[in-house]
Amino acid sequence: MARTKQTARKSTGGKATKAARKSAPATGGVKKPHRYRRGDLSDFKTDLRFQSSAVMALQEASEAYLVSLFEDTNLCAIHAKRVTIMPKDIQLARHIRGE
């Protein structure tokens, strides 16, 4: 039997607990939804600097991860009696790893 995708459902909220209802103001204080305002993040610092040793460490770690992932992917393809790796092999390898 084929698996079907579940569609996302919008949450309808839910019933508040007694403690939450007691602590709520009786005047009906309604919280306004957050509104996006342009320019709030414009002063975010974008000129980041990295040490060359940090970049090299990141590259080494990412290459080691990819090599081991492709090794496991190749084993999954061989197990399926194929020599060509496919996206489903990568998905299976990641699923088995618990990622």
On whether the CB atoms of residues 85 and 73 are closer than 8 A, the answer is yes
38/18 Cα distance (integer angstroms): 39
First vs last C-alpha separation in the chain: 25
Instruction: Scan for tokens 């320019």, then name that residue.
Output: 39
The verdict on residue 21 lying in a domain is no
The verdict on residue 46 lying in a domain is no
The CATH number linked to 58 is 1.10.20.10
The verdict on residue 74 lying in a domain is yes
The verdict on residue 60 lying in a domain is yes
pLDDT in tens, 75-91: 999 999 999 999 999 99
Number of domains in the chain: 1
87/63 Cα distance (integer angstroms): 19
Mean pLDDT of 54-69: 98
The verdict on residue 24 lying in a domain is no
Q: How far from chain centre, in Å, is Cα 76?
A: 24
The verdict on residue 40 lying in a domain is no
The verdict on residue 71 lying in a domain is yes
pLDDT in tens, 26-60: 566 788 887 777 776 666 677 889 999 999 999 99
pLDDT bin (cut points 50, 70, 90) of residue 21 is: low
Domain of residue 87, residue span: 51-98
